[in-house]
Amino acid sequence: MQARAFGIKTTLKVQEHLTRMIRRDQKAAESAPKAAKGAKDMQLAGPGPVRDSILATMPSELRTPHFPEPMRENTMDQQWRTADLEALDIGITKHRVPDLISDKLALWTVKLARRPTDIFFRNKYLHRSVMLEVVAAVPGMVGGLIRHIKSLQGMRHDGGWIGHLLHEAENERMHLMTWMEVGKPVLWERALIATVQTGFFAFFSLLYMVSPRTAHRVVGYLEEEAVTSYTHFIAEIDAGRIENVKAPEIALAYWNLAPDATLRDVVLAVRADEALHRDTNHHFSDRIRAGCESLLDDMDSTGDKPNIKY
């Protein structure tokens, strides 16, 4: 009963988040001219006159004070310090209990896929993170593309998912860019990572076309593993086995971290993003199952709702 209540609470939290995101997008569209002011601070390479002439001809829709946008909607409202990041309630051990056979298959696929990473990278957490992010940045873009094409072909609204999926892909790519600033994989590691990503891209594209419900479940479980992996990363830093170096500039700007932020703060921020992806993708899978894909519809009011357990 308690698990069921927690499941409903989680679903409502995700629904609230997604509804807030839709409203924020609408507000951003309304205030686009104001955002153009922020372009004054944009850093463009080149000498002054060239830079000025580029800025003068820049279309207004490209002018934004902060790009790409972070995942959590309140990230830019305050500068994040270690205590704030640690206080985030993200549900570190949260696990969606699989009940359908396809959900169990999704879980086993992710568990199995984790094995080679354990063998190759063991506790080289920076390298593991690069591998994880190269793969994790694929599903949002694939899902967004397929839903976009389906929406065009079916000439109907997609339920408001596409923007969120693309935003997620971009967020994952920013995770990758951040880790590439901290540690550089050697050539054979880059080759291995690129090969795995190519294979995963083909697998996930096919899966999304056949069963988007299972595809989102796979991502939900992949994100559960990501949260676990980043929790181990933090433990390694705390144990002194990974040096807690200064956070790279790209991370300070993207997550609005305090100037003295360290690698540990970055891992905390990345882990919080992964938790959001975990909840969102499990929620998307549950919505497909419930036949209630529009994010503006209340999922709990539908007759055919899955028995969600955490």
Q: Pick the closer one to Fe ion by CB: 205 or 229.
A: 229
Q: Which is nearer to Fe ion, 179 or 310 (CB)?
A: 179
Q: Does residue 286 bind Fe ion (CB under 5 A)?
A: no
Minimal distance, residue 69 CB to Fe ion, in Å: 15
Minimum distance from residue 175 beta carbon to Fe ion (Å)? 4
Smaller CB separation from Fe ion, 7 or 220: 220
Span from 50-58, 82-90, 170-178, 209-217 in contact with Fe ion (CB under 5 A): 170-178
Q: Return d(Cα 117, Cα 130) in angstroms, integer.
A: 11
Angle at 156 (CA atoms; ends 154, 160), nearest 5 degrees: 125
Provide the token pair at 225: 């593993």
Length in residues, the chain: 310
282 near Fe ion (CB under 5 A): no
Give the separation between CA 217 and CA 108, rounded to whole angstroms. Answer: 11
The helix, strand and coil proportions of the chain, stated in percent and rounded to the nearest 5, come to: 70, 0, 25
Which range, of 11-19, 216-224, 232-240, 255-263, touches Fe ion by CB under 5 A? 216-224
- List, in order, residues 6 or more apart from 107 with CB less than 8 Å away: 98, 217, 221
| C-alpha–C-alpha distance, residues 217 and 96, integer Å | 9
Residue among 133 and 265 whose Cβ is closer to Fe ion: 133
Q: Assess 128 for contact with Fe ion (CB under 5 A).
A: no
CA neighbor of 204 nearest in space, from 146, 259, 252:
146
Residue 271, interface with Fe ion (CB under 5 A)? no
Largest Cα span, the chain: 67
Which one of the spans 82-90, 133-141, 201-209, 249-257 is the region binding Fe ion (CB under 5 A)? Answer: 133-141
Q: Is 172 in the site for Fe ion (CB under 5 A)?
A: yes
277 binds Fe ion (CB under 5 A): yes
Q: Measured on CA atoms in the order 301, 212, 307, 4, is the torsion positive or negative? A: negative
**Is residue 175 close enough to count as binding Fe ion by CB under 5 A?**
yes
**Could you say whether residue 173 binds Fe ion (CB under 5 A)?**
no
User: Which residues neighbour 65 within 8 Å (Cβ) at sequence distance 6 or greater?
Assistant: 35, 37, 38, 39, 41
Q: Judged by CB under 5 A, does residue 147 bind Fe ion?
A: no
Tokens of 167: 């935003």
Nearest to Fe ion of 128, 277 (CB atom): 277
Q: Least Å distance between CB 30 and Fe ion?
A: 30
CB of 168 to Fe ion, least distance (A): 7
Which CB atom, from 230 or from 290, has the smaller least distance to Fe ion?
A: 230
Instruction: Show the beta-strand stretches assigned E in the chain.
Output: none
Q: Which is nearer to Fe ion, 171 or 290 (CB)?
A: 171
Single out the residue of 224, 265, 274, 279 in contact with Fe ion (rule: CB under 5 A): 274
Kindly report the backbone phi and psi dihedral angles of residue 73, in degrees, each rounded to the nearest multiple of 5, phi listed first. Answer: -65, -20
# binding residues, Fe ion (CB under 5 A): 7
CA atoms within 13 A on the CB side of 287: 25
- Region of 8-16, 126-134, 255-263, 294-302 interacting with Fe ion (CB under 5 A): 126-134
Q: Does 136 bind Fe ion (CB under 5 A)?
A: yes
Check residue 224 for interaction with Fe ion (CB under 5 A): no
Q: What is the DSSP letter of 71?
A: S
Interface residues toward Fe ion, by CB under 5 A = 133, 136, 172, 175, 223, 274, 277
